[in-house]
Amino acid sequence: MPKGQKRKPNPTATPSPRKKSTPATPQKGLEFFFESQRKKQHKLEQEAFGDPQLARPSSPLGNRGNAADEAALWELPPTDEEPLFLTNNRSMLASTSSPAKEQPSHDSPITTPPEDTASIVKSEEPYSTDIINEPKTTASTNSFLLQTKDEIKEDNEALKQPLTTDPLEFDAHAYPVNSWMTPDGPVAPYSFITEAFCIIADTNARIMITNVLCNMLRVLMVHTPTDLLPAVWLCSNAIAPPYMGVELGIGPLILSKAINSVAGTSGKALKSLYEKYGDWGDVAYAAKVSVRTLIQPKPLTVRNVFSTLKSIASLKGQGTVDAKAALVKKLVLASRGEEVRYLVRTFVSHLRIGAVRTTVLTALAKACVLDHSPFCSIEEDDPVTMHFHRQAGDDKAVLTEKMKRAERVVRECYAQHPNLDNIVPALLQGISQFKDHCPLSVGVPLRPMLGKITRDLSEVFVKLEGRSFACEYKYDGQRAQIHLGEQGHIKIFSRHLEDMTDKYPDVAALLAKMCKENTRSFIIDAEIVAIDDKGVIQPFSILSNRARKNVMIENITISVCVLAFDLMLLNNEPTLQQSLRVRRQLLRDHFHLIENKFALVEAIDASGSQECQDEVSDFFKKSIKDGCEGIMVKVLDHPGMDNNGKAPMDDDKANTDKVETRATKTSQLLSTYEPDKRMESWLKVKKDYVEGVSDSLDLVPIGAWWGNGRKVGWYSPILLACYNPESETFESVCKCISGFSDKFYKEMLEVYSVDNGRVLNGPRHDYVTDHRPDVWFQACEVWEIKGADITVSPIHKGAIGRIDEARGLSLRFPRFVRKRDDKDVEDATSSEILAEMYEKQTNLHGSSAIENGNAENEEEEGWIADD
């Protein structure tokens, strides 16, 4: 159409609808947008950092609010120090380009929680259902949001020497830690130990686990020795020794509140995730993986995480749940990638990395041989130093021997002084003299010595052929370690090193009366038993009814008697290396016997002669008649002892790795007190050994079926499991239906209920069984169970792989005896002991009687039709 000519109207065309007239409104341009973004961002930063004074400036342009200036800022070329995430996402994070003001110190705990989660942006993507099954990546890879180019370069350097490197080839000094630097020096990020956890979790190889831990601890020891102690605690599923009674107290309620707040999930969604994964760490990871933060909080450090955990544990009184949830939320919000998985697992004291206490101690000992901290002065010409520390020119064989020697010393020291708060700082000063800084002392419980399982009395005479031994009553009570200091300081500890002084104020009041004038301080091993008015010993069930906390002497209704059987320290001098005969005599010489209050255990001395065998047999029968569990048989003397009753030094005891005859082994049995060891110089013979299976088992209830007939509405039978400390799993052993009273069944419904969180929606990840009970239990109790014998089973998984690659072990005709309130679930019968018992049984009866596991026989297990 020519320019300027009007278009003619078409009479047949449908007229277009007339637009509604609307009042003119000003358009919101770039300036409005950026001003709004600055206000929101400033608010988010205040909340993310927990203090308005710590918030960053809203924009590097101040308050000019010029859109052209903002646009110009977008076009600035990236610097070497600018995070790559900011380079690629300027439009979203333009206002975060300014440097932050001074932040709190790295080692201070997080104490101010964010009041809301406005700084969190929920991804529109649904929760991933396969996220846990994807290959795990290191924390440094997952923490890409604020990763600088220098950090990426550092990661690439670290890849040249990963933590999986053989410790003998790993150079801790060359490990890149430039990104750890702060004005106060290097500070280890939490992502560093998380990286080690990820590697460890992906392997079952014990050597690899130890190597990774060793290398990780060496890097900390060399570059940030202050972080070594927190890191060791974080690897140990604890933040303090057990006898201090420090607990995080973070349960499902606190975790749910924190995760829901951070991830913006509903309670229903969180429950669905827990039903799917059964692990709080995996749940938190799956929930947080779909969350994006506009402002990434300051990275977590090892020091900061540990100090915050101690702050959580110290919270008491009203408002504790909300205060703990706020601190947990703060840590979860600041975590990146895999950090959240292991952080939450730390909250529930279950890392799932297969690194048990002994593994951590082994790694720590090796680290101290191969490297030393700046606090350690190494004297090259010192023979003691050369005995433990790495020297120039040491070959692989020499270093291996030094590491074995160091491991033995560290583990022995920990057994006598189980407090990492003292051990780790002492090790930082050098392993050669560290035992002097961590001696056996009053107030710090040593780990008790344990006895080996014995089938019957005839086996005792074979094992102790030609040796003198003592037979002692094995009482049905609670083992107690009693401490008295020179200043009158009194402590009573359980077998698991828990402080139970408050439970026995009557025993504490007794100590001054039972000491003779020549007794200033002591540590004794004893059994506390309940007695009646006539002094007759009562069963453990009576003792278990005694109150545990805040017990007042005037309110005590259950009297007890202390029966001492060993002495570990006297007048500040350790007696561990003296013979049992000498230690026993010291008990007689330094303590008054008080009727029905304090006594020595009933005992006789014997040897392997026929006359003594008859005497031991009669003594065993008498112990059963007197209400005891059986007897303990202990070696009295050591052949190599001098006139003072002292045993050979540690290095001499260690050279026993050679293949020996039975006679040689018998002659080397020690009569010393060996903390944290289960020795054949102590043998236990119980009534159960003679009547049925070689030992009663301590098993954990992990599930149940609903009963029928008379037991409708009750849990019956109960699925029980042993504990595998290597894999940190519970392996099913039997289904028990015998030994329960109606009262017990009713109490079970209260003990295991949905309301208290002890009934689960599915099996935990660490339950190993082919059974599918109606109800799954939280592993929280230990029960003593008797049975006929142990069989190979295609269904149960107890000790699977130890006797048969594809089949486990099960207990036939199991019967409930009692609850073991004195034991934690980790102290249940281990897979190793279960396999050991099976082998002893096989040697005695042959394999034909017990190789009947080709099909599951429910009646043999105790699955009998209910009436």
Nearest to 261 by CA among 229, 284, 280: 284
Q: Are 140 and 195 in contact (CB under 8 A)?
A: yes
**Marked catalytic residue, from 402, 474, 491, 786:** 474
The token duo for 425 is: 């700082």
Measured CA to CA, the distance from residue 480 to residue 491 in angstroms comes to: 10
CA distance 776 to 773: 7
3-state secondary structure at position 76: coil
A 10 A CB-CB count for 640 gives: 13
Identity of residue 526 = A
Distance CA 809, CA 697 (A): 13
Cα angle: 218, vertex 224, 229; to 5 degrees: 75
DSSP 635-701: E---TT--TT-BPPPHHHHH---S---HHHHHHT---S--TT-EEEEEEEEEHHHHHSSSS-EEEEE
CA distances from 364 to 368, 372, 403 (A): 6, 11, 10
Known active-site residue 298: no
What SS3 class is residue 541?
helix
Q: Is 595 exposed, middle or buried (0-12, 13-18, 19+ CB in 10 A)?
A: exposed
User: The tokens 């090790």 sit on which residue?
Assistant: 427
Residues 6+ apart with CB under 8 A from 432: 382, 384, 385, 387, 388, 389
- Cβ burial 811-828 (10 Å sphere, 16+ → b, else e): bbbbbbbbbbebbbbbbb
Element (H, E) at 386: helix 383-388
DSSP class of 241 = -
Task: Tell the burial category of 656 from Cβ atoms under 10 Å away from its Cβ (0-12, 13-18, 19+).
Answer: exposed
Torsion (CA) 107, 217, 224, 199 in degrees, nearest 10? -70
CA distances from 695 to 452, 456, 461, 701 (A): 11, 10, 18, 18
Catalytic residues: 474
